[in-house]
Structure 1
Amino acid sequence: MQFFMRWSFAGLLVAMTYNPTPWNYLSWFARHRLDQLPLAAVMGLALAIGYVVTLRATVRALGLTGVLLVLGLVAAVTWLALDQGWLTLQTPDGRIWLAIFAASAVLGIGLSWSMVRGHAPEGAGAS
């Protein structure tokens, strides 16, 4: 259950930044940056903090090699799904949602890796 909560957090972070609907930060910012600049700054900084924490935890847990391996696994599973006809990418929106899914999978696995290993990352706990 914790894995899905962490994966959901990563998915929300990525989708809130950009998705093919009008309900995302980048689209909102493009329309309202001049008339609501303070709110845009707060929202942008909140997203940036979310990315710093999430990316730092992911790279610390998996390492660069681990991140690349998980990304490769997600790419290979996507390739398999396309090859078997389980998935089609006929629309640009479908490709964007796939990229959101892939990014959230990598980040979700990175956020959950200490759970898989059975302990917190080095230096995270008390001695």
Structure 2
Amino acid sequence: MNGSTTTLGWSGLLVRLLAALVLVMATYNPEEKSYYHWVSQNLDSLNAIMAFAGVALLIGWAIFIRATLRSLGLIGVVLAAAFFGTLVWLMVEQDIVSPNNIRAFTYIILVMVSLVIGMGMSWSFIRRRMTGQLDVDDVD
């Protein structure tokens, strides 16, 4: 078994989290510099590059969502969403963020989505490191 495929360092985790953040922010962000805004503002002039970029984003989402569901499972994703949802609630209750600040709320939600899918992409590595166990995929 190759050790590089069964371990994940801090740099690997950071790369996955950044890739998830790039995917989420490239798809939509409140600065109107996203695929969503690009296409919605140019619906009358759709072209091959827009279609290609859309397919590339769909592939990225499929990879991240599939990996997240495989490693966290549906219950894990629901628990992660509940964790981050209550964290937002706590931030509002403690006056860290105002519920009237839509831009801040949007960024918080986008970052949380990227954290869920980024951690989902890395979870099997993290779990193995924490418990010393192997995944079924690792058994020869």
Q: TM-score, normalised by structure 1?
A: 0.88
| CA–CA separation in structure 1 for the residues paired with 2:135 and 2:35 | 32
Superposed CA offset, 1:77-123 (max 9, x none):
22112212222232221221121012111111111101211267533
User: Which residue does 2:136 correspond to in 1?
Assistant: 122
Q: CA 1:9–1:121 in 2, change beyond 3 Å: closer, same or farther?
A: farther
Superposed CA offset, 1:41-96 (max 9, x none):
10000000000000000000000001111111111122112212222232221221
Q: TM-score, normalised by structure 2?
A: 0.81
Pairing 1:103–2:117 present: no
| CA–CA separation in structure 2 for the residues paired with 1:5 and 1:114 | 16
Pairing 1:60–2:60 present: no
User: Which residue does 2:100 correspond to in 1?
Assistant: 90
* Structure of larger gyration radius: 2
Q: CA 1:126–1:38 in 2, change beyond 3 Å: closer, same or farther?
A: farther
Matched residue count = 126
User: Which residue does 2:19 correspond to in 1?
Assistant: 9
Q: CA 1:62–1:101 in 2, change beyond 3 Å: closer, same or farther?
A: same
Contact 1:55 1:107 in 2 (8 A): yes
| CA–CA separation in structure 1 for the residues paired with 2:84 and 2:24 | 16
RMSD of aligned C-alpha atoms?
A: 1.8
% of aligned pairs identical? 29
Contact 1:33 1:40 in 2 (8 A): no
Q: SS of the residue aligned with 2:32?
A: coil
Gaps of 5+ in 2: 1-9
Gaps of 5+ in 1: none
Q: CA 1:122–1:33 in 2, change beyond 3 Å: closer, same or farther?
A: farther
